[in-house]
Amino acid sequence: METYDALLASITPDAGETRTIIDPATGTPVGEAPVHTVEDLEATVAAAVAAQPAWAALGHEARSAVLLKAADAVERSAEELARLLSREQGKPLNGPNARFEVGACVAWIRAAATTPLEPETVVDDGETYAELHYRPIGVVGAIGPWNWPMMITIWQIAPALRMGNAVVVKPSKMTPLSVLALAKVLNEELPEGLLSVVSGDRAVGARLAEHPAIGKVMFTGSTDAGRSIIKSSAATVKRLTLELGGNDAGIVLPDADPKAIAQDLFWGAFINTGQTCAALKRLYVHDDIYDSVCEELTAVAAAMPMGVGLDENNVLGPLQNRSQYDIVARLVESARESGARILLGGNPDTDQPGHFYPATLVADIDNDNPLVAEEQFGPALPIIRYSTVDEAVEYANGLDVGLGASVWSSDLPAARKVAARIQAGTVWINKHGAVDPRVPFGGAKQSGYGLEFGVEGLKAVGVPQVING
């Protein structure tokens, strides 16, 4: 365990080009991040190729033991990592934010280390005997986002390491310090060269996606960037796991209790100040309870403090970058100009420092309004009326993405019937975005392909091999 200052100093480059990382809440510098080059990437990949065979040879039990020690190391440095994450990404320490994210890193590492994956006997009839095994791929490239930089990096690297692979990580240029610090702590327990971070620009990411020594790429980010990775990876026929953009729908059935669900609706939409791929981004509410849901949700949202993340009182923070702030502001303005009703927010204080946009609820909005049809990725939730369940399902399925969705009801069997009709990789009931390291997670339609978490997530970072005979 190191102090915050020592941890930050340990990832600050001694030489070479750097980039100043700015706190999105205050506009002040957080630290200096290295700007790695394609040449740096080549050296890093070569080191990973050299380190991987010995790691693979250890076997599952020994690798899991090392990973559990790495999880302990993250836990020991949890507060220092959370403070750095809060300053760089903007999310508050409290609520489902920075401390929560670091805790999730520990939980996911331990889950990856302890989930059993046994050879599967697929045929044993006295004449034919066949077993299915999963072998290491080699080197996995992990390209992560800026919204949950530590947690999503762990989603990528923990199962890859467990399965005997080396990993080269390319973090977002917005949040490299968090990932560099996390890797530094993990590497206190991991063999040298096995896990490396290359903090570079788009050219570094493109080279990682096409590199002949990289056997698989795991990517979380926009659908457009995912398409680019598919193209870059095609020449070497890489395996891919892509968790891409979403615009998750929630359907509130007429028998739901507005007061009972309001708190969970709020966090389903506003976790990480709305900057979550699988957040609730468009809410469909039946006419019978529409006004009551709007009223209860507004009361919850109005009580949530927003501000600088290191203030222990806050649970909502700024948008991580100005580009995202501008997207949210544009979409809310388009809704206002269309005649939609602003229940809360929509009035940012442009004189304060930081990229703060207030928690915003928008009612009486058309389903084809840009705030509904486009992924806002921020603290603005449109609430759309519907009259029949068929109409709500049609609205929910009307876009070309399908990461997650939710159904809210007091009648569980009825909710499950509606859930089965929604085109999404995960449909939650009476909650939204509640991922679990034991439960497979992945998208439908243009929200990507491949599964993460649990046994299926381990299989996704291995090469299936059948031994027949």
Place of tokens 């999963």: 134
| 452 residue type, one letter | E
**Contact call for residues 209 and 36 (beta carbons, < 8 A):** no
DSSP 26: T
* Token pair listed for 186: 């993990």
Residue 346 has phi, psi (to 5 degrees) of 75, 10
Positive or negative: CA dihedral 36, 40, 45, 47: negative
Q: Say if residues 377 and 355 touch (Cβ distance below 8 Å).
A: no
| 239 CB-near residues (< 8 Å, 6+ apart) | 137, 215, 216, 217, 460
Asked about 75 being catalytic, the answer comes back as no
Nearest to 153 by CA among 117, 188, 198: 198
What tokens were used for 463? Answer: 């090469």
Residue 228's Cβ-side half-sphere holds a number of Cα atoms within 13 Å equal to 14
Task: Read off the tokens for 302.
Answer: 């109005």
Catalytic residue among 210, 243, 296, 452: 243
DSSP 49: H
Residue whose structure tokens are 């020449």: 235
Q: Is 80 a catalytic residue?
A: no
- Strand runs labelled E in 234-376: 239-243, 248-252, 280-286, 341-344, 360-363
Annotated catalytic residue, options 75, 277, 294, 296: 277
| Burial class for 191, CB neighbours closer than 10 Å (0-12, 13-18, 19+) | middle
Cα atoms in the 13 Å half-sphere on the side-chain side of 179 = 33
Assigned token pair, 220: 């979380």
Rounded CA Rg of the chain:
23
**353: amino acid identity, one letter:** P
The residues carrying an active-site annotation are 243, 277
